[in-house]
């Protein structure tokens, strides 16, 4: 029985195509993304690169930097921009449901455990420094030109100019307000054919409501699928 389960898990892993960097960040406990989401994120990345969709790559919500490292590693000539408060996650609001408030209560009481029972990222003293070191370990220099990390609230650090364009954006920030802000803002600078992946669509009610609201107001955005996360594409013109 146990061996059968192990064989089917091994088969599932072999079917999901992952670059070595993704396997390494997962092995090192640098990401909360389960295998299916990492494989899907990577597939979308390969797709925009193969189709040569213009624009940079961005992530909102980096925590320990795992998924960001995967995105930055495959950026080619594009820039990678990563946004995070690099500290304790800001609280949910009354637009979020009890799932978010219950989770935040555990975090605020100092009772959250991290990946594989390690230290929770929100309790790390210098999370920004830790993430920069992890990038370096993967051969990625945070030079703030080709790889740019912005520390602070998204609402204060993401101020796109007229000329900013994105081909792929990963939104991984849990609650209603930040998801609404990020998706609304990036929808204006997403290239046609570009993609936004929202990690928590199936995890938090507030996140799902924010995504559904933006989709209802933007005819140019199409929800292609909701598993293992929400994949939203800007329609080619
Ligand atoms: C689930 S974690 C990201 C996980 C990461 N992508 C990975 O690979 O494991 C969510 C991150 O979003 C950040 N965050 C949430 N709301 C934010 C906001 N309004 N401004 C800046 N950072 C925020 C949190 O502090 C946290 O680091």
- Span 155-176, mean pLDDT? 96
Residue 13 banded pLDDT, cuts 50, 70, 90: low
pTM: 0.94
Q: Measuring from each residue's beta carbon to the nearest atom of ligand 1, which residues come in under 6 Å?
A: 31-33, 61-64, 66-67, 84-85, 89-90, 153-154, 172-174, 178
Residue in the structure block whose two tokens are 């054919």: 193
Q: What pairs with residue 166 in β-bridges?
A: 56, 190
pLDDT recorded at residue 193 = 97
Distance from the CA of 173 to the center of ligand 1, in angstroms?
4
> How many Cβ atoms are within 10 Å of 108's Cβ, its own excluded?
13
Residue 4 banded pLDDT, cuts 50, 70, 90: low
- Span 135-150, mean pLDDT? 98
Pocket test for ligand 1, best of 41, 62, 64 (most atoms within 8 A of CB): 62
Domains in the chain: ranges and CATH: 21-234 (3.40.50.150)
CA distance 149 to 129: 11
> Of the given ranges (1-5, 25-29, 122-126, 157-161), which has the lowest mean pLDDT?
1-5
CA distance 19 to 55: 22
- Span 160-182, mean pLDDT? 96
- Span 156-183, mean pLDDT? 96
Residue 15 banded pLDDT, cuts 50, 70, 90: low
CA-nearest residue for atom 6, ligand 1, is 62
Residue 11 banded pLDDT, cuts 50, 70, 90: low
């Amino acid at each position: 029985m146990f061996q059968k389960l192990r064989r089917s898990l091994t088969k599932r892993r072999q079917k999901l195509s992952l670059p070595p960097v993704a396997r390494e960040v997962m092995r090192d406990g640098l990401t909360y993304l389960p295998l299916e989401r990492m494989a899907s994120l990577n597939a979308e990345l390969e797709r925009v690169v193969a189709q040569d969709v213009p624009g940079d790559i961005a992530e909102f919500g980096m925590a320990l930097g795992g998924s960001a490292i995967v995105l930055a590693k495959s950026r080619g000539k594009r820039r990678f921009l990563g946004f995070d408060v690099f500290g304790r996650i800001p609280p949910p609001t009354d637009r979020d449901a009890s799932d978010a408030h219950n989770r935040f209560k555990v975090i605020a009481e100092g009772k959250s455990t991290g990946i594989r029972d390690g230290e929770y990222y929100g309790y790390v003293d210098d999370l920004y420094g830790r993430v920069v070191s992890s990038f370096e370990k993967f051969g990625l220099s945070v030079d703030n030109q080709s790889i740019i990390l912005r520390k602070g609230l998204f609402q204060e650090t993401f101020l796109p100019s007229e000329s900013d364009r994105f081909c792929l954006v990963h939104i991984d920030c849990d609650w209603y307000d930040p998801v609404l802000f990020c998706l609304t803002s990036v929808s204006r600078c997403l290239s046609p054919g570009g993609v936004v992946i929202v990690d928590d669509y199936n995890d938090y009610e507030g996140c799902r409501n924010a995504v559904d609201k933006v989709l209802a107001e933007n005819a140019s955005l199409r929800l292609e699928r909701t598993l293992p996360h929400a994949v939203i594409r800007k329609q080619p013109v």
